[in-house]
Amino acid sequence: MLHDFHNKLTGVSILLAIALLGCTVGATCTGWKHDRISLDDGSQFSNHYSVFLDQLACPINATEDCQFARRSYDITAERDLVNGGGRSLDLPSDEAEAIFRLAQDSFNKEINRGNTKNTTTLKEFITRNATVSTQSLQILGEDSIILQVEPGTNETLLWTSFYMYSTGTLDGCTNETLNNMTITAAAPYLTQEPRLNNLTVLAGTWAAAGTKISDDKTNGVASLVKGTFDNTIPWIVVTTLIVASSL
């Protein structure tokens, strides 16, 4: 009988442990108090999610501009959760997924508010993998601005994905530290490019940032000097491949 009681007690302990584990693993938030939404576009966007793709140093003694080779680059535009202080949050996947879902639902509700059309716009707050190609700059007639590098310049080629943002305050969280916390969910988005037959592309822009090179007379080698400049094309350009995937 004592043996049977011990077995039953052990079974109860195991069930209790499983229940506790389930509460830990399944920690999520259920409430979202909407604050605001916003969307990057060609006239206003953040460079927080810029990706450095390539670099080219054009010699001081070059007789003409150098140019980045036209090619493709694989990038990952990651979604992000940011607290009120601007710090990215590192949360367990189940917690993060629940918050992204709440932020996404709030965003879609707001952008469709007052919509009198029969169509509904739905955006997904997911990480997106894509291939961006500088061939698109040639197609759009903009390659000379971004790809050309003046003599005596060390230039970096960048891609900045446009993001959508949904800000709200959390509640109903099993992780109590998240309750009443203001969170901004940020995610890249797709759009249609009217100059390319409405091809669906990753929204974003190319940019180039450079540093002037000086001729160091003391040792005969070129050196970098302070002073930067930026050339940015403020509109969306094509990607040659869009592959969307969740985290």
Q: Are 189 and 126 in contact (CB under 8 A)?
A: no
Return the H-helix or E-strand segment holding 159: strand 153-161
pLDDT greater than 70 at residue 94: yes
Does residue 59 surpass a pLDDT of 90? Answer: yes
Q: What is the pTM of this model?
A: 0.75
Q: State the pLDDT at residue 116.
A: 65
What's the number of CA atoms in the CB half-sphere (13 Å) around residue 16?
6
Contacts with 46 (C-beta within 8 Å, 6 or more apart), sequence order: 40, 163
CA angle 8, 14, 15 (to 5 degrees): 90
pLDDT of 22 higher than 60: no
Which residues have a Cβ under 8 Å from the Cβ of 237 and sit 6 or more positions away?
Answer: 132, 136, 137, 140, 142, 193, 201, 204, 205, 206
Burial code (b: 16+ CB inside 10 Å, e: under 16) for 106-140 equals bbbeebeeeeeeeeeeebbbbbbebebbbebbeeb
Q: Which residues, 6 or more positions from 142, have their beta carbon under 8 angstroms from its beta carbon?
A: 206, 233, 237
Report the pLDDT averaged over residues 164-181: 96
Report how far residue 128's alpha carbon sits from residue 189's, in angstroms, rounded to the nearest whole number. Answer: 8
pLDDT score recorded for residue 144: 67
**pLDDT given for residue 118 in this prediction:** 63
Share of the chain above pLDDT 90, in %: 49
The larger pLDDT score, comparing residue 37 to residue 11, is at: 37
**Which range (73-82, 121-130, 157-166, 208-217) has the least confidence?**
208-217
Task: Provide the pLDDT for residue 56.
Answer: 94
pLDDT (0 to 100) of residue 143: 59
Amino acid making up residue 56: L
Amino acid at 174: T
